[in-house]
Amino acid sequence: MLLKEYRICMPLTVEEYRIGQLYMISKHSHEQSSDGEGVEVIINEPYESAVHGEGQYTEKRVYLNRKLPAWIRGFIPKIFYITEKAWNYYPYTVTEYTCSFLPKFQIRIETKFENNNGCNAQVFRDKPTPEEDVCFIDIATDDITEGYYKKSEDLRSFHSAKTGRGPLLDNWRETSEPIMCSYKLVAAKFEVYGFQSRVEGFVHKNIRDILLAGHRQAVAWMDEWYGMSLEDVRKFERKLQEETNCKVNCQKKTQDSKNDAKLNNGGGRHSISRSTSWNNGTEPCSYSATNGPADIKPRHRLPSAPE
């Protein structure tokens, strides 16, 4: 298991981000859902815990096969999904991810939000997280992958008309008021012989990119959600949830119909024929033995604010 703590600051208060987070997740999921891939919401309902009190439970299926690198696509079926289960007791949340195809794969994210600039070294445990396992993410200056970059979301040139906040210049985390920090303790586990370190490292690399893009969007979209009530943003969430589910399911049905037609015509092929070593972790996968290790090609990255 590979464990890291991420700290992401934003020029918001914890109470403001409660609205911004719900808005950002709904809009981002809607934007990323197309062609049968994206986020399908299965459950979204109130939930009460004896320890944490009232909250919200959500369960989603994330279809993303074509977003994976080629070296992973070679080992999985064309149709699979990640299950996301989240317990939101804001300002504390727990999110778990499991895979429909890989039972030994799991991600657990524990999140706490505080009104500070990331200076709390003991937010999760009695002892501080080791420094080598702490990663600060700067939403204004960190490089972002090309696929996530949008000029309208560049926070070094962003200015909020409603709040007057921005742009975020050098040392903004020391000078901004208000400021809050999203603390995330992320554990990635993939206990399969020969692939564990590689997959867990890949997961953390992508989680970092997603956290950077998502928190940038929450700030860049501030003028869209600022002033909304919790009831307002829940209505927005339900509306986009219905539209997103429709986008994903309609495309999935179309693709399933095409696949059925191919099979009926005798032209279909099995999408995968693999060893069971993925499930029991006792046998090395034959792919690496015959083809050698596949190098992960680095993705082109863009600076947050290109000159």
d(CA 198, CA 294): 11
Containing domain of residue 198, as a range? 2-248
Domain membership of residue 302 (yes or no) is no
Beta-bridge partner residues of 86: 58, 95
pTM above 0.95, yes or no: no
d(CA 294, CA 219): 38
62, two tokens: 């994330």
Residues near 121 by beta carbon (within 8 Å), at least 6 away in sequence: 128, 129
Q: What type of residue is 303?
A: P
**Phi and psi (nearest 5°) for 209?**
-65, -40
Can you give the pLDDT at residue 263?
Answer: 47
Strand (E) positions, the chain? 2-10, 38-49, 53-63, 82-89, 92-99, 105-114, 134-137, 144-145, 180-190, 301-302
Can you give the pLDDT at residue 34?
Answer: 64
Domain membership of residue 125 (yes or no) is yes
Domain membership of residue 112 (yes or no) is yes
Contact 184, 113 (CB under 8 A): no
Closest CA to 42 of 100, 102, 103, 112: 100
pLDDT above 90 covers what percent of the chain?
60
d(CA 189, CA 86): 18
The CB density around residue 122, as the number of other CB atoms within 10 Å, is 9
Domain membership of residue 90 (yes or no) is yes
Domain membership of residue 293 (yes or no) is no
Q: What type of residue is 126?
A: D
Domain membership of residue 154 (yes or no) is yes
Angle made by CA atoms 8, 53, 244, in degrees to the nearest 5: 60
d(CA 189, CA 157): 38
d(CA 14, CA 16): 5
Closest CA to 204 of 219, 183, 189: 189
205, two tokens: 């690399």
For CA atoms 281, 287, 289, 293, the dihedral sign is negative
Can you give the pLDDT at residue 68?
Answer: 61
Can you give the pLDDT at residue 125?
Answer: 82
Can you give the pLDDT at residue 252?
Answer: 58
146, two tokens: 């090309």
Domain membership of residue 261 (yes or no) is no
Can you give the pLDDT at residue 297?
Answer: 46
pLDDT less than 50: residues of the chain = 259, 262-263, 267-297, 304-307
What's the structural domain count of the chain? 1
- How many Cα atoms are found within 13 Å in the side-chain-facing hemisphere of 145? 14
Can you give the pLDDT at residue 70?
Answer: 65
The CB density around residue 48, as the number of other CB atoms within 10 Å, is 10
Q: What is the CATH number of the domain that holds 163?
A: 3.30.530.20
187, two tokens: 């554990």
Domain membership of residue 254 (yes or no) is no
Contact 179, 9 (CB under 8 A): yes
